[in-house]
Amino acid sequence: MTETNDWWRGSVTYQIYPRSFMDASGDGVGDLRGIIDRLDHVGSLGVDAIWLSPVFPSPMADMGYDVSDYKGIDPVFGTMKDFDEMIEKAHSLGLKVIIDQVLSHASDQHPYFEESRSSRDNPKADWFVWADPKPDGTPPNNWLAIFGGSSWEWDSRRKQYYMHNFLSEQPDWNFHNPEVQDYMLDNMRFWLDRGVDGFRLDTVNFYFHDQILRDNAANPLPWAQEAVRPFEMQYTLFSKNRPENIGFLERMRALLDEYDGRTMVGEVGDSHHAIDLMGEYTSGKRLHMAYSFEMLGPDYSPRHFRERIEAFFKGAPEGWPCWAFSNHDVRRHVTRWQDHAKDSEALAKQAAALLLAFEGSICIYQGEELGQLDTKMEFHELTDPEAINFWPEAHGRDGCRTPMTWDKDAPNGGFSVANKTWLPVKQPQLDRAVSTQGEDSVLAFYKEMLALRSATPDLKVGKISFLDLPDPILGFERGDKTVCLYNLSPETQTLDLGLTLNPLISRGTRAKGTSLVFEANGFIITQRA
């Protein structure tokens, strides 16, 4: 494989959530022309690629993750001409373009689902997952939907249940039908021919289900029975993670290999096997990269990071991970980990220095480069069905999806001239707008750290080797001579390494004799002298 084709290895991707990036039309919702207008900001960071959350036609029951047309652009975001111009602008800035592919499920308004539900013998009858009720009329098994309730919805036309892992408006495709697989590959080819550089595959381990519909068992993990979502109380052995998935991943990889320099990164969501599946799915001719929610939770400890990274490379020495601390589905990490810091700005910089030093590829989420916080939402402001269904115990996803703030003093932070934006812009987010980011800001640090990663082969592609250090210090080596050390706590810590060091970047760290003194959330990336 040429170096050009291998660009994704060690790359950094910037996730754009189109509804909230920039509104050029003035309707309060972000759009493709807004992305075009603000792409220079992304280009200035020093990242390699952008990932766009879905912009396809959709009823927006789940904000675009319920697709009704896989080969179109929803009018709320613009036109196909806008999309083509966005690709051209991104490429002119040296940015690759990765787009979401929501293949496991569709919208219930997709024309093929409307045909499928019309009868049991139409040409698309077997394109979705249908099952007869039990004799007492209840669903065929105990599978649960992530957003609450059974994963089975009754349809009076077919007098059968259809399966949905998410909302009832998101019926699952039947990937056991080869025609469904062919249809999805054709959709992907459409976008490859249009010039996209790859795909982020939503819920990549959900494609196949157990065909004999065996019940899931109870989740044996100790926290499960206290979970807010009943879905997490099940060990989802049969409703996802099926072995047949591998064959389809290989078919997708064969498609991408027909093109130069294309890549796939899969989202693996699972409470038991996420790291194992990441390795399995990226070994051989399958996905190029995979990420999970293992680093998108509350744990901010040396043991957690070390265990997850070591487990991945032990299980899949030829695989390739993509690590992230935030995305559009979880609370922003500066809010999530605030108990581990005295100062949110110091935490934001340390998290950047940590994530961007990991072995693998990296994804950062829009606003992360500003040290942005999760927005505190009131119930009447919510749009997220997960938050609405599980209020008030669940935070939901709206808090991390509020609009980007470009100019603190402009209406809606410069995101939109509309009287009302689709989610509110609040003062804590305005206080971290791009316009407020000075010489020693979080934004300035991201640019510095991204430049260091790009210029330092050890940090981009060097192997990682962890150091045995006392908690709360996390330390590892990258490649031949780069050493990375972090105090993951709000208290001052001292460490005697007995090494002569040549610092590359640091914050809150000073030498004292042969020791290093780390202030709260202090860190240093250095090379052996």
Amino acid, single-letter form, for residue 213: L
* Residue-wise pLDDT tens digits, 148-201: 999 999 999 999 999 999 999 999 999 999 999 999 999 999 999 999 999 999
Give the pairing type, strands 361-365 and 12-16: parallel
Q: Are 526 and 483 in contact (CB under 8 A)?
A: yes
pLDDT at 2: 41
The catalytic residue positions are 202, 258
Could you tell me the residue ranges of all domains in the chain? 462-528
pLDDT at 3 over 60: no
User: Taking 50 as the threshold, does the pLDDT of residue 458 lie above it?
Assistant: yes
Which residue would you say has higher pLDDT here, 16 or 272? Answer: 16
CA-to-CA separations, 482 to 83, 465, 524, in angstroms, rounded: 41, 10, 10
Write the class of the CATH domain 462-528: mainly beta
Helix ranges restricted to H, 273-369: 274-282, 302-315, 333-336, 344-355
Q: According to the model, what pLDDT value does residue 58 have?
A: 98
| 7: exposed, middle or buried (Cβ count in 10 Å: 0-12, 13-18, 19+) | middle
Cβ neighbors of 515 (< 8 A, separation 6 or more) are 494, 495, 496, 497
Tell me what percent of the residues of the chain surpass a pLDDT of 70: 99
- Please provide the DSSP assignment of 160-176 as one string: EEEE-SS-TTSPBB-TT
Query: Is 113 in a helix, a strand, or coil?
Result: helix
Question: From the CA atom positions of the chain, what is the Rg in Å?
Answer: 23
- Displacement of CA 209 from its chain's centroid (Å): 23
CA distances from 312 to 91, 211, 359 (A): 32, 30, 11
The pLDDT score that the predictor gives to residue 438 is 96
For position 5, what pLDDT does the model report? Answer: 87
Q: Is 382 within 8 Å of 398 (Cβ atoms)?
A: yes
Query: Could you check whether the bond before residue 503 is cis, i.e. omega within 30 degrees of 0?
Result: no
Q: Determine the 3-state secondary structure of 282 from DSSP.
A: helix
Q: What contacts 159, CB < 8 A, 6 or more positions away?
A: none
Confidence of residue 1 (pLDDT cuts 50, 70, 90): very low
Indicate the SS3 state at residue 485: strand
Contact 73, 57 (CB under 8 A): yes
Q: Exposed, middle or buried by CB within 10 Å (0-12, 13-18, 19+), for 469?
A: middle
Question: pLDDT by residue (tens digit) across 116-139?
Answer: 999 999 999 999 999 999 999 999
